Structure 1
Amino acid sequence: MPSPLPPESSPLNQHSLRALEQWLLQLGAIRIDNDPCRWQLERPAWSAVLLLDREDLKVIWQASGSSSETQCSLPYGLSRADVEAAIQAGP
């Protein structure tokens, strides 16, 4: 049974890698090529690649039916709730 995640008000930098992976799975993301640092998230209106970089979480969105990308970097010092809201807001 997976361990409980830290409170959603906790910054991502206070999450273990295992907790971050569990959170991404709960969001519905899937690991890309078995790489623990690269994840794909699909929504009806957009898709996103989530990259767990050294300094921040990089999100690269692509709207459905579009070839253009929008990206941002979210510092690990932000709370999990804030990061999740930013990701779910889409491009």
Structure 2
Amino acid sequence: MVDLPSPQTPLYNHPLPVLERWLAELGGRQRGHHSCEWDLTTVAWSAELVLGSEELTVRWGQAAAAVERHFPYGLTRADVEAAILAGP
């Protein structure tokens, strides 16, 4: 298994299997074996994460109460992780 790159590495320098491992290490659950959709739940909130072609989309909550943010793959893994774990 390949180690994760430095936390200061932009997401676009992470191969897809490494991104998937990172999301799993955060506590995410992939919706299907080859799905780009993930669910992440903490005691304080739950979120849906989508690995899109140009950005990672995170949607906390549901429907009208949802907060959605888009993180371009040019951001570092550390910055994106901090933003995701900070919650909505």
Shorter-chain-normalised TM-score: which range? over 0.9
Identity of aligned residues (%): 45
2:87 matches 1:90 = yes
Q: Which has the higher strand share?
A: 1
- With normalisation by structure 2, the TM-score equals 0.93
CA RMSD of aligned residues (A): 1.6
Partner of 2:41: 42
One-letter identity of the residue aligned with 1:78: L
What 5-or-longer segments of structure 2 have no aligned partner? Answer: none
Q: Secondary structure at the match of 1:36?
A: coil
2:78 matches 1:81 = yes
Q: CA deviation at 1:67?
A: 6.2
- For 1:30 and 1:67, locate their aligned partners in 2 and report how far apart those are by CA, in whole Å: 24
One-letter identity of the residue aligned with 2:5: P
Q: CA deviation at 1:3?
A: 1.3
- For 2:37 and 2:72, locate their aligned partners in 1 and report how far apart those are by CA, in whole Å: 16
- With normalisation by structure 1, the TM-score equals 0.90
- For 2:2 and 2:27, locate their aligned partners in 1 and report how far apart those are by CA, in whole Å: 18
Partner of 2:69: 72
Deviates more, 1:27-36 or 1:41-50: 27-36
- For 1:67 and 1:30, locate their aligned partners in 2 and report how far apart those are by CA, in whole Å: 24
What 5-or-longer segments of structure 1 have no aligned partner? Answer: none
Q: Which runs of 4+ in 1 moved over 4 A?
A: none
Q: CA deviation at 1:62?
A: 1.1
- For 2:61 and 2:34, locate their aligned partners in 1 and report how far apart those are by CA, in whole Å: 20
- For 2:51 and 2:24, locate their aligned partners in 1 and report how far apart those are by CA, in whole Å: 14
Q: Secondary structure at the match of 2:30?
A: strand
Q: How many residues align?
A: 88
